[in-house]
Amino acid sequence: MSADDDVLALPLAFSGQRLAWRDLPRSVRTRIGDLAGAQVSAEIDATSGFSPGFAAVLELADGRDVFVKAVSPEQNPHSPELARAEIRNAAALPPEVPAPPLLWSHDDGDWVVLGFEAVHGRSPVLPWRPDDLGEVLETVGRLADAEPVSGHTLPRTDDQLADDFQGWRHLAAGPGSALDELAREGGSTGQWAVDSLERLVLLEQDALPACAGDALVHGDLRADNVMIDDHGRVWLIDWPHASVGAPWLDLAFMLPSVALQGGGDPAAIFRGHQLSVGVSDDELRACLAALAGYFAYGSVQPPPPGIPNLRAFQRAQAYATLAWLRTV
């Protein structure tokens, strides 16, 4: 069995738990109606993604609609901070970025509510279809040319990832049972990672300099963070992890999930894309090693509240990233 065989056996899609409109406190539902400027008459659930709060397109009594997110610490203690980051980051996105505009928001210290312009369309078909993937890759290429608005407060990508990109070091210092689990679950790919642990630790230490740059970075592109509207336009959604860094990072960091979800060979896709021009194998290896370590270390942690499928998806992405790394 090859490394690629290990990855192709993994599931295509995962999702998190969502609250329904009826699950929201009455005060939150009232606040959403006030912010939207009309009573809510219907909801269309958003079923993809990992956020454990409420996320749905709400149809309003006056005929308009709005995409609303709402979350509190009760669903997950970290989710409200991500929602607050998305509010801040929305102000940094220039008009040419295909992100649904934030229309309004509210934060009472417990519930954080965001209202976006609704995009009517669909998620990419999985396994990935060549036409969908081509449109998304073209959009990612255009995103790399965008610059955050003047006066933005986005962090540097290398600063934002400094803590995350220590996964292999944590695993090397931690209990051996975590490495045994990775090897057992990952077939030849998992065993290769355990056998190569010392090298992976060294590689991830070179990743942060390679992440530096001046481009707008989404930081969390996957199929569930992409929408294709009724006119065929690609929209990139969910921006709490936005930063400023190397223009090729979104492409590279997205491709393990593309491979996992049937989209093809990440190495060939990456080197066939214009964003890979000038990216050395050393830079790519370092960043892939760090990304795989982030996923691998995260996958052996206890499941976070409200997001029971996250660890399985992280492990799947770790193996897909390692399989690509073995070819670089």
Alpha helices in 197-278 (DSSP H): 197-204, 207-211, 249-260, 266-271
Q: What amino acid occupies position 2?
A: S
Please give the mean pLDDT across all residues of the chain: 92
Contact 45, 53 (CB under 8 A): no
pTM: 0.93
pLDDT greater than 60 at residue 14: no
Model confidence pLDDT, tens digit, residues 73-88: 999 999 999 999 999 9
Residues 6+ apart with CB under 8 A from 30: none
Q: For 302-318, what is the mean pLDDT?
A: 90
Contact 21, 68 (CB under 8 A): no
Q: What amino acid occupies position 141?
A: G
pLDDT level of residue 115 (50, 70, 90 thresholds): very high
**Spatial separation of the C-alpha atoms in residues 81 and 87, rounded to whole Å:** 10
Q: For 199-218, what is the mean pLDDT?
A: 97
- Determine how many CB atoms are found less than 10 A away from the CB of residue 105: 18
Q: What amino acid occupies position 213?
A: G
pLDDT greater than 90 at residue 18: no
Residues 6+ apart with CB under 8 A from 78: 304
Take residue 252 and report the two structure tokens written for it.
């590279």
Kind and range of the H or E element at 39? none
Q: What pLDDT does residue 66 have?
A: 97
Domain boundaries, the chain: 3-9+122-325, 21-119
Residues 6+ apart with CB under 8 A from 204: 165, 166, 167, 168, 169, 286, 289, 290, 293
Shortest CA distance to 137 belongs to which of 234, 48, 281?
234
DSSP 100: P
CA distance from start to end of the chain: 19
pLDDT greater than 80 at residue 1: no
**Spatial separation of the C-alpha atoms in residues 328 and 212, rounded to whole Å:** 21
Q: Do domains 3-9+122-325 and 21-119 have the same CATH topology?
A: no
Take residue 162 and report the two structure tokens written for it.
């400094």
pLDDT greater than 80 at residue 6: no
CATH code for the domain defined by 21-119: 3.30.200.20
Contact 128, 263 (CB under 8 A): yes
How do the residues of the chain divide into helix, strand and coil, expressed in percent and rounded to 5? Answer: 45, 15, 40
How many alpha carbons fall within 13 Å on the CB side of residue 175? 5
Residues 6+ apart with CB under 8 A from 16: 49, 50, 51, 52, 306, 307, 308, 309, 310
**Spatial separation of the C-alpha atoms in residues 316 and 305, rounded to whole Å:** 20
pLDDT level of residue 129 (50, 70, 90 thresholds): very high
Model confidence pLDDT, tens digit, residues 247-292: 999 999 999 999 999 999 999 999 999 999 999 999 999 999 999 9
* CATH class of the 3-9+122-325 domain in this structure: alpha beta
